[in-house]
Amino acid sequence: MTQPRSPGSVWRMARRIYLPKIIRRRSKLHGWGVFAAEDINKNKYIIDYDGELIRQKESEKREARYLRKGCIWCFRINRAWSRDANVGGNVARFINHSCTPNAYSQIVDKTIWIRAGRNIKKGEELTYDYNTEGDKTIACRCRPGCKNRL
Ligand SMILES: C[S@@+](CC[C@H](N)C(=O)[O-])C[C@H]1O[C@@H](n2cnc3c(N)ncnc32)[C@H](O)[C@@H]1O
Ligand SMILES: [Zn+2]
């Protein structure tokens, strides 16, 4: 079978899932963001949110430490487990939050997939809803006048 290839694109051979090319760039939302480097169809798997697999107790400790610096890196998988993208994370760690996102997360076992919530055009910034819990200290800048907090 001939497989289309472009720099940065990835074929997950075990699952035969084509992962689209994405790139990290400075974002208008915050710091670094991740952008589509090719058109991405709705529901496509984009990337898995990688990071060290840690127990909830450890995650809470690290989250508090990261939050003091205004950062969110721990992604909660379930009541028992989280992934800390600050340790062993990939480019997914730079995907910003939006209250009207174009992507969504889906947990399969202990893998956190980021998938396209709609058709995404090349050049668009990728966003998903962080669904944060807790103190919510960070003002959301997803759009002018957004009153939500992360
Ligand atoms: C997983 S990181 C995303 C990458 C981040 N932009 C960077 O440069 O490191 C999450 C952090 O990005 C910031 N962030 C993400 N989405 C945001 C938003 N909609 N409004 C304000 N800050 C946001 C917050 O500081 C949050 O702690
Ligand atoms: Zn918002």
**Hey, what amino acid is at 65?**
R
pLDDT at site 26 = 98
DSSP letters along the chain, please? ------TT-EEETTTTEEEPPEEEEE-SSSSEEEEESS-B-TT-EEEE---EEEEHHHHHHHHHHHHTTT---EEE-SSSEEEETTTT--GGGGPEE-SS-SEEEEEETTEEEEEESS-B-TTPBPEE-----S---SBP-SSTT---B-
Pocket test for ligand 1, best of 22, 30, 62 (most atoms within 8 A of CB): 30
Superfamily name and number for 20-128: SET domain (2.170.270.10)
* 8 A C-beta contact, residue 97 and residue 126: no
Nearest atom within ligand 1 for CA of residue 94: 4
What is the reported pLDDT for 70? 87
- To the nearest whole percent, how much of the chain has pLDDT over 90? 82
Q: What is the pLDDT of residue 14?
A: 52
Q: Are 140 and 150 in contact (CB under 8 A)?
A: yes
Which residue numbers in the chain have pLDDT < 50?
1-6, 13
State pTM to two decimals. Answer: 0.91
Q: 82-110 burial, b if ≥16 CB within 10 A, otherwise e?
A: bbbbbeebebbbbbbbbeebbbbbeeeee
Contact 44, 56 (CB under 8 A): no
Domain ranges of the chain: 20-128
How far apart CA 102 and CA 52 sit, in angstroms, is 26
User: Whose atoms come closest to the Cα of 126: which ligand?
Assistant: 1
Q: Among the atoms of ligand 1, which is closest to the Cα of residue 67?
A: 27
How confident is the model at residue 133, as a pLDDT?
84
User: 139 CA distance to ligand 2 centroid (A)?
Assistant: 8
